[in-house]
Amino acid sequence: MHQKNLNNTFTESKTGFRDRVYLLVGQIPSGRVMSYGQLAALCGNPRAARIVGGIAHHGPEHLPWQRVVKKGGGLASGYYGGLEGHKADLEREGVIVTDYKVVDIGNVRWWPDE
DNA sequence: CGCGTGACGTCTC
DNA sequence: CGAGACGCCACGC
């Protein structure tokens, strides 16, 4: 037929990774943060943290990527505006940041279970 | 369809 | 504690 599979890759299982990242990031409430590895794990691959970073860099700007930090609470240098911008956006939401690292990350880390 | 890549993570020194 | 090196894997060309 005329339709073919085009690029196919419409298999939810595979493209799901990137889409899930978008959905999860969009679900992070204000004042809370998630780590790249955490997002990756929830997407199905705890070792795909780097992939989440790459997706974040190229992902939609309307998503709260500022709520995505490293596992230890470290901010992302590649964030639009750099560490300063990232820090400013997090503090704006009430997240305490010191030396470009989220303070008490264990308390502000958010999980979809909540 | 293979290679390089990177907003990470973990180990070692 | 801090910095450096390796590994890991989805994504784009």
How long is the CA A51 to C1' C8 vector, in angstroms?
10
Angle between helices A12-27 and A49-58 (to 10 degrees): 70
Could you say which nucleotides of strand B lie within 7 A of any protein CB atom? 5-10
In contact, A93 and A30? CB cutoff 8 Å: yes
Angle (nearest 5°) at CA A74 between A88 and A100: 40
How long is the CA A84 to C1' C3 vector, in angstroms?
22
Nucleotide nearest to A36 (CA to C1'): B8
The tens digit of pLDDT for each residue in A77-99 reads 899 999 999 999 999 999 999 99
- CB of residue A79 closer than 7 A to nucleic acid strand B? yes
pLDDT of residue A14: 46
pTM for this predicted structure? 0.88
